[in-house]
Structure 1
Amino acid sequence: MTHSMTGFARVEEEFSWGRLSCEIRSVNHRYLEPSIRMPDSLRVAEGSFREQLKKSLSRGKVEVSFFLKQENNDSAQINPEALNGLVQLLSAVSAKVPNPAPVNPLEALRWPGVLQANELDADTLVAAANTMLQKTLTDLQKSRAREGEGLAQHIQDRLSAISQHVATLRSELPALTAAQQDKLSQKIEALQVDVDQDRLAQELVIIAQKSDVAEELDRLDTHIVETQRALKQTGPIGRRLDFLMQEFNREANTLSSKAIASGVTQIAVELKVLVEQMREQVQNIE
């Protein structure tokens, strides 16, 4: 199945200790270029995350983001040492200031270090993040597969058009070659000069050989079959398709250089347009 390198996926889950979400964006790139943004509490698992990405993806610029919102309401605790230190400071201030205003307990809780949240167990968080990353990668692959189907259909449509042009040119080529030879013979007759018929026959054969594009048409048919076969393969096919696009373009250029009539030139131009349209889409295929 053809996979695009462009995709997006997001997974979010609620836990007893808070909310964790994972978001992955990917675009086309020559190689696999991952970047991961995460809270410091997950930094220990970065190597594991990168290994998962390498196993699931082969190409693309991939941005992974983890977002953690820890619930502190049930896990918040008072730090006795910080609170005692605050009380001592307040006592010192009260001794210096006559008739001090009473301290609001809620204001005391806002003092840095007085209210603490229990630290989330690192193993629990990493395990949840690993599972979530795998789910997000699965969704990303589905997204890339859906877009890949569209890219494959686009290429198939262009391959069909190329096949039709090749068939048309193959059927018209004998008539075009004969017309070119007749045109040359008529020009010679118009000059009203004696011509060595053997030499003329040799020149006509040389012209026919130079304008013969049967080999190029055969190679175009071969490239069409090979591209269709590649689109049905599993695994990364982008680089192979890119090579085939270069070969398509090479044959189209050769057809243009051997053109013996405006019709051949027009078909060669149409082939170049179709190949370029395919090449643009191939750049997005993994």
Structure 2
Amino acid sequence: MEAARKAETAGTAETAITAMTATTAMPTMATPTTTTTPTAQKARASGPGTTRDSLRWALLVPGAATAAGFLAQFPYGGLYVGVTLMLAAAATGAIVAGSNWHRGGAATIAGFGVMALGLFAGPSLYESYAKLLGERTGAVVVLTGERGRDTGEYFCHVIDDGGRVSELGNRQNCYGDFAAEQRVVLYEDPLGALSPWIEAEDDRSLDPVGLAVTAGLFLLVGGTLFTAGLRRRSDQDLLDRHRRRPVPPQRSAVE
């Protein structure tokens, strides 16, 4: 019995040693690391929601700038309302493209493009609205001249065939090319909100240069924002890009 007990003890010890050896020899599973590739970033940034959001801003910002330019043509504080709206549209476009989407170039184009769009869109829309929808009436120039010396601000006092007197300026196409007692044509706003547009003859053709510049600036701002929205970068994208940059070699303290 003593021999059987020793044999059992030896077998138990041998089994324990074998189990410990097998446990020690088991390979260690490495924890996989997740990296964000540029392809994954593009897939994450694209999608129907991103396209709709980009299109919304591409239409909203230049549309607001165009409306601001037209509002600036109205009297009774319309200029201040239009300028305020124009500045708000420029700031919004720059913030959305620069801060939210991290596209600095698009933010610069959007900011300055909106300002230029508002300046060109206002007179072009004023002329288009007056000539296409305005009521034609004849008038006579009573007095014309320049406000101050070398200011570039002209005025025209006219009396239409109905006896109404109007004082027109640069925004109504009075640039000093009219003479006193000259017969002119006025295109009056059917709603009565805007001052009449003055022309030397009955000519309802529109200025193609102003319309072309306005359309070009609208497409420039809208296209820039739409492209920037599709290629937007999040904070995580910038962090991943920073991590992928090669680390410069450290210079030794003792040279």
TM beyond 0.5: no
User: TM-score, normalising length from structure 1?
Assistant: 0.25
RCO comparison, higher one (Cα < 8 Å, 6+): 1
Greater helix percent: which structure? 1
User: TM-score, normalising length from structure 2?
Assistant: 0.27
